[in-house]
A and B are shown apart, each in its own frame.
Chain A
């Protein structure tokens, strides 16, 4: 169990550029979540995968955001045409179906849009 891994840890980009983040969940976990967290707030749900299927996406999520989880393993989150309001910590978490289904989080990717 190597934990949830996220890359990069930090990303600085200019407004209007596209960015992509990667998440590698714990290997036996079939559920994967993306959350966004801004300073002083709790994590805000973005999207959820069960295996390779994206089962839920926040209604608050702009069309500029897209996520994939090919083959039900790692996941990527892409933000197109970034805006300053996208600056936040992007957290990935995974869980195993059954039991308490607690989330295991990665260290996050801190995005700064200049």
Chain B
């Protein structure tokens, strides 16, 4: 069975500091993709970053980086230099190559404190 686990319901970070949001996953499929999405209070899901299971290097997109530890089945999101606009819900998701659907975690609510 495919599963995504996010154990941090809520996180706080000081503006300009870095923060790590945790994500672990479970799959027996050797080929899969891991995604992070941001959902502000407006409701729209915004794609942040992608990591393929065979990618040798950790993905980076601007202030976002993905700390991919395959043996531990973890795909933590690191946000550097937090901004007030980063306050939102963050969802980790996985898609396996044998299936069509994306599996989402329960999300982490991030609040950036000025």
In the complex, residue of chain B having the shortest beta-carbon distance to the beta carbon of A110: B43
| Bitwise interface map of A from 70 to 96 toward B, beta carbon under 8 Å scored 1, else 0 | 000000000000000000010101000
Could you tell me which residues of chain B, from 66 to 114, have a CB within 8 Å of some CB in chain A? 91, 93, 95, 99-107
- Whether A48 sits at the interface, judged by CB under 8 Å, is yes
C-alpha gap A102/B37 in the complex (Å): 10
The count of chain B contact residues (Cβ–Cβ below 8 Å) is 24
Could you tell me which residues of chain A, from 55 to 113, have a CB within 8 Å of some CB in chain B? 55-56, 58, 89, 91, 93, 100-108, 110
Q: Are the C-beta atoms of B45 and A48 separated by less than 8 Å?
A: no
Residues of B with C-beta under 8 A to A107: 42-44
Which of A44, A91, A101, A104 touches B33 (beta carbons < 8 Å)?
Answer: A101
Could you tell me which residues of chain B, from 8 to 24, have a CB within 8 Å of some CB in chain A? none
Q: Are the C-beta atoms of B52 and A55 separated by less than 8 Å?
A: no
C-alpha gap A39/B46 in the complex (Å): 18
- Whether B25 sits at the interface, judged by CB under 8 Å, is no
Residues of B with C-beta under 8 A to A91: 45
The count of chain A contact residues (Cβ–Cβ below 8 Å) is 27
Q: Are the C-beta atoms of A104 and B47 separated by less than 8 Å?
A: yes
Chain B contact residues, majority secondary structure: strand
Known contacts A104-B47, A107-B43, A33 near B104 by CB under 8 Å? no
Chain A contact residues, majority secondary structure: strand
Q: Are the C-beta atoms of A33 and B44 separated by less than 8 Å?
A: no
Q: Are the C-beta atoms of A101 and B104 separated by less than 8 Å?
A: no
Known contacts A56-B100, A107-B42, A102 near B47 by CB under 8 Å? yes
Task: Give the distance to chain B from A73, nearest Cβ to Cβ, in Å.
Answer: 19
Residues of A with C-beta under 8 A to B99: 56
Q: Are the C-beta atoms of B100 and A55 separated by less than 8 Å?
A: yes
Beyond A43-B102, A50-B100, A105-B37: 13 further Cβ-contacts under 8 Å?
Answer: A40-B107, A42-B4, A42-B91, A45-B102, A45-B103, A48-B100, A55-B100, A56-B100, A100-B35, A100-B50, A100-B52, A101-B33, A103-B47
